[in-house]
Amino acid sequence: MSTPPIIQLDEVHFTYSGGSHSALSAITLSIQPGEIIGIIGANGAGKSTLCYLLAGLIPSFFNGNFSGTATINDKEIANIDANKLPYLVGLVLQNSRLQLSHMCNTVYEEVAFGLENLGVPREIMLKKIDQALKMTGISHMAERSPYTLSGGEQQRLAIASILAMDSPVLIFDEPTSLLDPVGRREVLSVIMNLSKSGHTIIIAENHLEWIAEYTDRVVALEAGKILVQGDPKEIMSLPEIQSSGIGWTRFTQASALYLEKTKSGSPNRLPITLEQAIHFFQTEQGNHGN
């Protein structure tokens, strides 16, 4: 018997209030517990809107025309009350500084903020905070001011803040787009570790190599619709991914260029990851050698 999905979207349409076109159109998506889903798409494709929907913020927070069914753990998202939603799903946005509560002096207090709002008893709160700080690798910064942290550290703090609330589903809306390479590595490494701890992870991210390497499934969006979804290693080198404005990974692009220049017309599927690219070029070299 297959596990029931933790998130189920059926024929979801959403148009922002005052919007002239649908931000999401006919979205049908089933997400299993523990899955890592990558969401890719060009600017304006609907990645953030899909993240907000999965985080339970549509239609309650964003006004607009909503139709279809969206459930988390078999509960209609629109009917889940504010006290229960953080226990089901957590959201991390791209701007790390904006995610500070602006009510706390220290990293420790910042992680406690959500738990205080939920009325979690202090003894339990302390355990949850320690655990969340440990999982994101910022325990040693507990007494520092959140405002003195780097972008990557602040983003890990934002992750710790939602982790402390025990959300089984974690949604990341381009969490590394404003970070430097070091910050990006730190945050993506934390997200990878979280996936190992059984969390369901949904991440909208422009770092296509990372998406290809680490996600179980990719959902490619174009103009609010699902363009294609499936195993990243199978779909990310499809021509429609390139033509939709998402683009290919550097390895796919290099290989495609190589084939075009050598006019070899190799039957090999275009590589997506570094490992595949090495294998691809080794095979190509072998073919040319023969």
Partner 1 sequence: MFEPHSLYITGKGTFYSLHPLTKLSGVLAVALLVFLGPGETEKIILIGLLIFLTAVWAGLLLPSIKTTIKLLLPLLIVLVVVQGFFYPQNTTILFSLGKYEYAWEGFLYALFVTARIGVILLASLLFLFSTKLSDFSRALTISGLSSGLVYLIVSPIYMLPDFADRIHRIRESQQSRGLDIEGNFLVRIKALFPLVAPLILGALVETESRALILETRAFNAIGKRSSLVEIYLSRRERVLQILLLTVALILSVIGIIERALFL
CB atoms closer than 10 angstroms to residue 25: 18
**How far is Cα 39 from Cα 19, in angstroms, rounded to an integer?**
22
> Which of 21, 67, 147, 278 lies at the binding interface for partner 1 (CB under 8 A)?
147
Question: In Å, what is the CA distance from 178 to each residue of 34, 93, 211?
Answer: 27, 10, 17
- Residues in contact with partner 1, counted by CB under 8 A, come to a total of 45
Q: At its nearest, how many Å lie between partner 1 and the CB of residue 261?
A: 41
> Which of 83, 264, 282, 285 lies at the binding interface for partner 1 (CB under 8 A)?
83
Task: Fill in the DSSP letter of residue 187.
Answer: H
**How far is Cα 264 from Cα 52, in angstroms, rounded to an integer?**
45
Q: At its nearest, how many Å lie between partner 1 and the CB of residue 118?
A: 5
Residue 112 as a binder of partner 1 (CB under 8 A): the answer is yes
Lateral strand order in the sheet of 64-72: 24-31, 7-16, 64-72, 75-76
| Element housing 76 (H / E) | strand 75-76
**How far is Cα 52 from Cα 206, in angstroms, rounded to an integer?**
17
CB nearer to partner 1: give 99 or 200.
99
Query: Between residue 234 and residue 273, which ones bind partner 1 under the rule CB under 8 A?
Result: none
| Stretch in the footprint of partner 1 (CB under 8 A) among 20-28, 70-78, 111-119, 212-220 | 111-119
* Straight-line distance from the first to the last Cα atom of the chain, in angstroms, rounded to the nearest whole number: 50
**How far is Cα 7 from Cα 27, in angstroms, rounded to an integer?**
12
Q: Which of 227, 220, 208 lies closest to 271, judged by CA?
A: 208
CB nearer to partner 1: give 18 or 121.
121
Contact 114, 161 (CB under 8 A): yes
Residue 120 as a binder of partner 1 (CB under 8 A): the answer is yes
| Stretch in the footprint of partner 1 (CB under 8 A) among 17-25, 105-113, 209-217, 237-245 | 105-113
**How far is Cα 227 from Cα 217, in angstroms, rounded to an integer?**
13
Residue 79 as a binder of partner 1 (CB under 8 A): the answer is no
| Stretch in the footprint of partner 1 (CB under 8 A) among 24-32, 145-153, 210-218, 279-287 | 145-153
| Stretch in the footprint of partner 1 (CB under 8 A) among 18-26, 69-77, 124-132, 237-245 | 124-132
Query: Between residue 173 and residue 212, which ones bind partner 1 under the rule CB under 8 A?
Result: none
Query: Between residue 34 and residue 53, which ones bind partner 1 under the rule CB under 8 A?
Result: 52
Q: Which residue has the tokens 């990341």?
A: 172
Residue 12 as a binder of partner 1 (CB under 8 A): the answer is no
| Chain positions contacting partner 1, by CB under 8 A | 52, 55, 57, 61, 81-83, 85-86, 90-91, 93, 95, 97-106, 108-109, 112-122, 125-126, 129, 145, 147-148, 161-162, 165
